[in-house]
Chains A and B, each alone.
Chain A
């Protein structure tokens, strides 16, 4: 969750290794974080190999089997079948790829744009900083879900459009974070030295500053993943999301909603998949935050 993630590490460089070692120890000792890590690992494995091992790959591609509609869960169909006779298990497994990819893309685009904006603002300061940061503040006041809905609806359905729509509201958090880090790093010795040696602005940013702020950005990304997946599913649920036959979890749930409670399996499994994925990332992110920000948990 973005709002929870604002407090990010301010670890001193000198004792970085020591901190990391202690952090890892803390992480290993927290079974919740390990559980999160496991869920996320399983999720990634399913996303990578799932689509090729699902029992009914043709259903994922949109084939229908109208003779076997609404079958309850059985050995043949672990999660039952839906309104078109498609195997819900296959769809949910294949959906993991879409949700993970979309979530990653949203976070990556957000981080990329935010890092650029933040780095430029922090490095140049002055009015550039002022303008960019006021813009970021403004963006934070605009309700992100409504904005994403409006943009996605205008662009039409499709994963790419959905990612664009969501990422639009995603960068300000990163911009703030990176700007702070850049301002801090800018004054440090090695940057001053590089500048004295005649390195250009681009080079300093690229070679000396950005690599040093990578860690906090990556941690924020991992913290944001759960929320990104949730937002993707939300758009799908409202019905502004992917094109059929893409088996996206949110849209699966939105369609299945009509069949509750009689054909509960069509809704419960996609819904639980969303919950589990988000839960896994949140547990992991929470553990990671503990590692890098010992103050947050004692």
Chain B
């Protein structure tokens, strides 16, 4: 078991190197001259050359890559050409914001998806099942940005229940920075009121984001529950007179866990990359907005940084999911 885990962890290294190489290559092969853009409209050729030198862009590409990768390891992720801020510093602020949103969305999806899938399985081919199927398919078909707009109009404008966007009231100082997750930081500082406010700000964007994983989890729960209900030992137990409620309870827990794991594996990376749409609508100060701004100004370093962070999280979350699978189902452990 231990060797298996170690082997998996070591195998990540070449993948991460490949990721950095790929992202770097794509960023550099695209047209566009960020130095020209950053130097401003009145810059002379000499000033442009100076700026290029400052950012190391005058060196051959392999050297640039080497400098970049060594920087990655030592925590120097480069600088934004426009704001001149260190990318690593920016990521430290924006990543937790986005992760908080993604995790909350995931949590919502699991919270709703598991009972929904169960219900669908129990009432297979009856109306609750059809309902859940239509709703699931509708949920993954709904553009998140459109849904976000509708939610904003409904809950923020008409009903006035929830804030329009943002992450925390502007005029107040957010809880002291510990993890960057406002939910956790507010609890650490023992400020329940701040925790409540944080949840209000999270509610709409998290809901807009949770639909895709929610649909997937519902359908997976349904399929695997049906499978279990038809298995021999369950039939036997049922024949022996155990109530179906007890049987469900007995087997569903493990089931729910593996469905949840699969969805996390599938969706963490996907949601992280896709937050940009929801962040745009809800003005959520996270990775997506940060990346959009950098993309529009063709600012290499932040784009590369965001991509590598998301790719890295994807790889690591998949690893964790695989390992947990191994613990949950001993059969797959030594693939």
Cβ of B266 to closest chain A Cβ, rounded Å: 5
Contact A154 B32 (CB under 8 A): yes
Which residues in window 1-41 of B have CB below 8 A to A? Answer: 15, 18-19, 22-23, 26-27, 30-32
Complex Cα–Cα for A177 and B81 (A): 41
Does chain A have a CB within 8 A of B261?
no
Q: How does the 8 Å CB contact mask read for B174-199 relative to A, with 1 for contact and 0 for none? A: 00000000000000000000000000
Does chain B have a CB within 8 A of A181?
no
A146-B306 contact in complex given A3-B270, A32-B133, C-beta closer than 8 Å: yes
Complex Cα–Cα for A137 and B150 (A): 36
Contact B137 A146 (CB under 8 A): no
Residues of B within 8 A of A49 (CB): none
Does chain A have a CB within 8 A of B209?
no
Does chain A have a CB within 8 A of B112?
no
Q: Which of A146, A147, A226 contacts B141 (CB 8 A)?
A: A226
Residue of A nearest to B294 (CB): A150
Contact B146 A234 (CB under 8 A): no
Complex Cα–Cα for A118 and B19 (A): 20
Contact A151 B30 (CB under 8 A): yes
Does chain B have a CB within 8 A of A57?
no
Does chain B have a CB within 8 A of A208?
no
Residues of A within 8 A of B274 (CB): 143, 145
Residue of A nearest to B263 (CB): A3
Contact A146 B276 (CB under 8 A): yes
Residues of A within 8 A of B295 (CB): 146, 149-150, 153, 240
Contact A141 B314 (CB under 8 A): yes
Contact B31 A150 (CB under 8 A): no
Which residues in window 292-334 of B have CB below 8 A to A? Answer: 292, 295-296, 298, 303, 306-307, 310-311, 314-315
Contact A142 B223 (CB under 8 A): no
Contact A134 B18 (CB under 8 A): yes
A238-B140 contact in complex given A142-B23, A267-B149, C-beta closer than 8 Å: no
Complex Cα–Cα for A65 and B195 (A): 51
Cβ of B93 to closest chain A Cβ, rounded Å: 18
Interface residues of A (CB under 8 A from B): 1, 3-4, 32, 134-135, 137-139, 141-147, 149-151, 153-155, 226, 230, 233-234, 237-238, 240, 250, 253, 257, 260-261, 264, 267, 271, 274-275, 278-279, 282-283, 286, 296-298
Interface residues of B (CB under 8 A from A): 15, 18-19, 22-23, 26-27, 30-32, 124, 130, 133-134, 137-138, 140-143, 145-146, 149-150, 153, 157, 212, 216, 219, 223, 226, 230, 266-267, 269-270, 272-274, 276-277, 280, 288, 291-292, 295-296, 298, 303, 306-307, 310-311, 314-315
Between A and B, 20 residue pairs with Cβ closer than 8 Å are A32-B130, A138-B18, A139-B22, A141-B269, A142-B23, A145-B277, A146-B310, A150-B295, A150-B303, A151-B30, A154-B31, A154-B32, A155-B31, A237-B145, A238-B277, A250-B143, A253-B143, A278-B142, A278-B143, A279-B138
